[in-house]
Structures are given as C-alpha cells and as structure tokens.
Amino acid sequence: MTSFPEIIVNVDELISVNRYEVDEDNAHIELNSQDIDSLDDVEFGKLVRVCPAALYKVDSDGHKSFDYAGCLECGTCRIACEGTIVSKWEQPGPTMGVQYRFG
C-alpha cells in the first residue's frame, strides 16, 4: 500500500452535517470483493485519494474499509475504478441517498 501523509481531518464529522436517507438494505456501490482487504492496493489507494466523502479508508495498520452510507453520489470512484475494483455503481433507490440543502 502506498503511504499517505497523516490525515488530520475527521471527514466522518464533516459529512455528519449533511442530510442523508441511508438505504441500509441496498448498497448502491459494490466492490469486487466483500473482503475489502483483499482488494488491489494501488486501485484502492486511488479511491482513498479521490473520494470527497472518504468512504474508502486505510487505517494505521493498513486495513482497508469501505462504507457507502456517506456517499455524495459524485461518481468519481466510478470514473476512477469501474472495471478494476468498483463492480457496481447505481443511483441510490427512490428518495434515498444525500439531500443537499445548499448544493
């Protein structure tokens, strides 16, 4: 895994100001494997860098994680990695997902 300079911002805190209706039953983004740690380091590293919602994370032990719940629906991960490690990218179900109040 390529190394990152220290991430000092807590993005989970940042996106907590947003309004979401999270679709707990249906992930609108799926990766090639449920075993996130087994995903390609380089490809996953791209997603860590480009996702503005920090859905793709690598912790200090090098463990990878992914959670679609805070998705901003920009599609950047799709452009970066559809066909490598992003296997599904659909719009969230009816009335689900982010609801911008400012935009």
Partner 1 sequence: MEERDFDIIVVGCGCAGAIAAYVAAKQSKSVLVVERGEFAGAKNMTGGRLYTHSLRAVLEAYADGEVDWDDIPFERKITHERMSLLGTSSAMTVDYTSEAFGREGQESYSVLRATFDQWLFDLAESAGCEMITGIAVESLVKDESGAVIGVKAGDDEITAQVVIIAEGQNSLLTERELGAPRPKTNQMAVGIKEVFALDSDVIGDRFLCQKDEGAAMLFVGDCTHGVVGGGFMYANKESVSLGLVSTISEMEKADTTIYQAMEDFKHHPAVAPIIRGAEMVEHSGHMVAEGGFNMIPRYVYDGALVAGDAAMLCMNLGYMVRGMDLAIASGRFAAETACEAIDNHDVSTKGLSSYQSRLENSFVVKDMKTFKEWPETMERWDSMFSDYPQMVGELFDTMFVVDGTPMKPLGKRMFPIIKRRGLLKLAGEVRRALRAL
Residues that bind partner 1 (CB under 8 A): 4-5, 7-9, 11, 14-15, 17-18, 21, 45-54, 72-76, 78-80, 82, 89-92, 94-95, 97-103
Q: CA–CA separation, 7 vs 59, rounded Å?
A: 10
Residue whose C-alpha is closest to residue 34's, from 63, 2, 66, 61: 66
Least distance between partner 1 and beta carbon 8 (Å): 7
C-alpha separations of 58 from 13, 21, 26, 78 in Å: 17, 25, 23, 19
Residue 20 or 32: which CB sits closer to partner 1? Answer: 20
